[in-house]
Amino acid sequence: KTSGNIIRCRAAVAWTTNAPLSIEEVEVDPPKAGEVRVKIIASGICGTDNHTLEGKMKTPFPVILGHEGAGVVESIGPGVTTVKPGDKVLMFPLPECRECFYCLYPKGNFCEKENILSPTGLMLDGTSRFTCRGKKIYNIMGTSTFTEYTVVHEIAVAKIEAAAPMDTVCIMSCAVPTGFGAVFNTAQVTPGSSCVVFGLGGIGSAIVMACKASGACRIIGVDINEEKFPRARALGVTDCLNPNKLMKPVHEVVKEMTGVGVDFAFEAIGLIETMVAALKSCNRSYGVCVIMGVAPTGSQLSFDPLVLLPGRTLKSSVLGGYKTRDDIPKLVTDYVQKKINIDPLITHRLPFPKINEGFRLLREGKCIRCVLSM
Ligand code: APR
Ligand code: ZN
């Protein structure tokens, strides 16, 4: 019986930035009120995990990273009603409390319960559920999935259907809704439109798939790693650009290719310069630019406001604007019923102990998504 007891299990601990993760035995406390302890089955490695490890995103260390997980509920704390032991679940980096202003309002999804913009690395009661070698270990965005067991808030976990393949739908915790929602909810890409996608990694590839599904007739893909191009073309990119090989700024090339600039531009890298390039790539009268990349902590986005004046729109969203607990399980069902396909996003699979190899694949640009199985 594990319920009510501390669980000892393996986890990948990031003791400091810019060091390999260390597979350690950790103690995972039982869930407190409103919390759920989950046995992780599979977890994707996201660009944000790598940014955090590289110290570009401020969050407390030592930390257990990972926020793209699928698992099975092991036990629940007092008051938990929406999931029970044995349920297959996804856990999300953005909660949905169903009580705050934003959760009750039909539009938007940015729940007030957890401030993911300035992470504490702790549960909402200000304490941690992880210990390793006698030291407190922090969590990431209330999730932490690079561990055999984790504790999450009930407001950040949702039951998914039993038929869902966990080692695939885990990427529906972040990459898939982020990319799909950027297109379907935030930009609302229209049939026959032109699009540009900056960054052809996990998020960018999901954006490309959704642009194609929306009927975009031209999808320009921008990346400095040309190894990303063949797969991007297979997903729907019609033209590939490597900014390092162009004679002029990439937004000027996009403008020439399309006459006036694209209808919809997406940034899925997380750099200020590519955010500005994406904005300038969309047509000046009604172009919409959606920034999905997360810039380093403390950076400032600056551009001449005259870029916006003629009518451009600059937008962003977290998790694609989906209300996590309400909407994402429906995406899982769509996948199980073969209404959407996310398989091409997963290019590599590794057993959990090889997690550092997964990070290396991501850093070297060899993978779109690498999924770890526990
Ligand atoms: N210009 C063009 N492409 C670039 C540049 C650049 N200056 N720098 C990096 N890239 C490309 C990489 O070659 C890679 O293909 O951007 C892509 C980023 O993809 P991933 O590393 O797979 O990251 P992903 O998980 O897609 O996340 C992208 O979204 O959620 C945020 O924090 C995340 O900011 C990150 C972004
Ligand atoms: Zn809320």
What is the distance in A from the centroid of ligand 1 to the CA of 260? 26
Alpha-carbon 260 to chain mean position: 31
CA distances in angstroms from 303 to 19, 34, 197, 240, listed in the order given = 35, 44, 20, 25
- Tens of pLDDT, residues 246-260: 999 999 999 999 999
Distance 104 CA to ligand 1 centre (A): 33
Task: Output the pTM of the full model.
Answer: 0.94
Query: Closest residue (by CA) to atom 22 of ligand 1?
Result: 201
Atom of ligand 1 at shortest distance to CA of 175?
25
DSSP code per residue over 149-182: EEEEEGGGEEE--TTS-HHHHGGGGTHHHHHHHI
Of the ligands numbered here, which is closest to the C-alpha atom of 369?
Answer: 1
Q: What digits encode the pLDDT tens for the residues 269-294?
A: 999 999 999 999 999 999 999 999 99
CA of 8 from ligand 1 middle (Å) equals 35
| pLDDT for position 57 | 87
- Ligand 1 atom 11 nearest Cα: 199
pLDDT at 118: 77
How many angstroms separate the alpha carbon of residue 270 from the centre of ligand 1? 6
**Cβ contact 41:373 at 8 Å:** yes
Residue whose token pair is 């999450």: 152
H or E segment to which residue 360 belongs: helix 355-363
Ligand 1 first shell, C-beta below 6 A: 46-48, 51, 198-204, 222-225, 228, 243, 268-271, 274, 292-294, 362, 365
Query: How many angstroms separate the alpha carbon of residue 99 from the centre of ligand 2?
Result: 5
Protein residues near ligand 2, an ion, with CB under 5 A: 97, 100, 103, 111
Interface predicted TM-score (ipTM) of this complex, two decimals: 0.97
Q: Which residue positions in the chain have pLDDT lower than 70?
A: none
Residue 123's contacts (CB-CB under 8 Å, 6 or more residues apart) are: 32, 35, 129, 139, 142, 151, 153
Give me the pLDDT at residue 360, please: 97
Give the per-residue pLDDT at 119: 86
Q: How far is the CA of 103 from the centre of ligand 2 (A)?
A: 4
Question: Can you give the pLDDT at residue 115?
Answer: 72
Q: What is the DSSP secondary structure assignment for residue 183, as one 8-state letter?
A: I
Q: Which atom of ligand 1 is nearest to the CA of 292?
A: 29
